[in-house]
Amino acid sequence: MAIKLHGDPRATCYQRVAFILAELGLPFETVTVSIAKNENKSPEFLQLQPFGKVPALDDNGFVVFESRAICKYLANKYAVPGARLVPEDGDFEGLALFEQAASIEQSYFDPPSSAYAHDKIYKKFHGEETDEAAAAASLATLDAALAVYEGMLAQRQYLAGDRLTLADLFHVPYGVVVKAAGAQEVFDRYPRVRKWLEGMEARESWRNLVGNGREEVV
Ligand SMILES: N[C@@H](CCC(=O)N[C@@H](CS)C(=O)NCC(=O)O)C(=O)O
């Protein structure tokens, strides 16, 4: 019996889950689903993820998809005592602040980051030209969001309070891609944001993943 992560190791959404599995110290098997080969649209994969997007997790027969939902499931089921990545049941205020932080990532960080990466990197894979005006607009939107992050991180160590949670870690895959795509200066403008992100990138769990070929993205 094993945990199987179905996905493309070069995809940020796969990496989000692989990162958390490593944080939790959980061994898992990667079942590669190549996006380049369109394997995410195969009938077999659609049985696991009907929208045809990676990743999907199979935990001893229990299947769940959507990278953030998978991470929350794992962090609750396999919580490391003393180092929980989500607040405990019953900690209503902690849970509210955690969900607030997780929603911030999904609402204000992921959309401009993924749009920027799409224009600067992914389009090239499909032989398309970068739309520089669209990329600049995405960067401006991201910049405005990071200005707010800078203010929040002046008040607390992490987005949901003084403990690291999934809501922080969720930023790493796209943060790394966006910086590599040419947006390092946006992070340099906000020293607290830069330090916060670099601290997470320095974690052994992420460094091991980087060593496993995540430098290419899809
Ligand atoms: N909200 C989904 C997004 C999944 C997603 O968009 N995955 C991308 C890779 S990061 C994908 O499968 N792209 C291939 C395609 O759209 O055909 C999640 O977090 O799991």
Contacts of 75 (CB under 8 A, 6+ apart): 20, 24, 84, 85, 86, 166
Ligand 1 pocket, 49 CB below 6 A?
Answer: no
- For residue 127, what pLDDT is reported? 86
Ligand 1 pocket, 12 CB below 6 A?
Answer: yes
Which domain-ending residue is among 66, 85, 104?
Answer: 85
216 DSSP 8-state letter = S
Residues 58 and 118 occupy one common structural domain: no
- Closest ligand 1 atom to residue 70 Cα is 20
Ligand 1 pocket, 153 CB below 6 A?
Answer: no
- Can you tell me the distance from the alpha carbon of 49 to that of 72, in angstroms, rounded to the nearest whole number? 17
pLDDT digits (tens, 9 = 90+) for 100-128: 999 999 999 999 999 999 999 988 888 88
Residues 77 and 150 occupy one common structural domain: no
Residues 166 and 181 occupy one common structural domain: yes
Residues 101 and 190 occupy one common structural domain: yes
pLDDT digits (tens, 9 = 90+) for 207-217: 999 765 444 55
Residue nearest to atom 5 of ligand 1 (CA): 53
- For residue 125, what pLDDT is reported? 80
For residue 140, what is the domain's CATH number?
Answer: 1.20.1050.10
Residues 69 and 110 occupy one common structural domain: no
215 compared with 87, residue with greater pLDDT: 87
| Structural domain span for residue 145 | 92-204
Ligand 1 pocket, 13 CB below 6 A?
Answer: yes
CA 217 – ligand 1 centroid, Å: 12
Q: Which amino acid is at 81?
A: P
Ligand 1 pocket, 214 CB below 6 A?
Answer: no
* Count of structural domains within the chain: 2
Residues 31 and 96 occupy one common structural domain: no
How confident is the prediction for the chain on average, in pLDDT?
Answer: 95
Q: What angle do CA 143, 147, 148 make, to 5 degrees?
A: 125
Ligand 1 pocket, 85 CB below 6 A?
Answer: no
Per-residue tokens: 142: 């991201």
Residues 117 and 153 occupy one common structural domain: yes
Inter-axis angle of helices 12-23 and 67-77, nearest 10:
10
Residues 22 and 101 occupy one common structural domain: no
User: Is 118 contained in some domain?
Assistant: yes
Q: What angle do CA 19, 80, 215 make, to 5 degrees?
A: 10
The continuous run of DSSP H or E covering 6 comes out as strand 3-7
User: Is 200 contained in some domain?
Assistant: yes
Which domain-ending residue is among 85, 100, 118?
Answer: 85
- Can you tell me the distance from the alpha carbon of 139 to that of 182, in angstroms, rounded to the nearest whole number? 10
Which domain-ending residue is among 85, 105, 138?
Answer: 85
- For residue 215, what pLDDT is reported? 46
pLDDT at 11 over 60: yes
- Report CA torsion sign: 198, 203, 209, 212: positive
The string of DSSP codes covering 15-78 is: HHHHHHHHHTT---EEEE--TTTTGGGSHHHHHH-TT--S-EEEETTEEEESHHHHHHHHHHHT
For residue 59, what is the domain's CATH number?
Answer: 3.40.30.10
- Can you tell me the distance from the alpha carbon of 30 to that of 1, in angstroms, rounded to the nearest whole number? 14
Question: What are the φ and ψ backbone dihedral angles of 206, each rounded to 5 degrees?
Answer: -75, -40
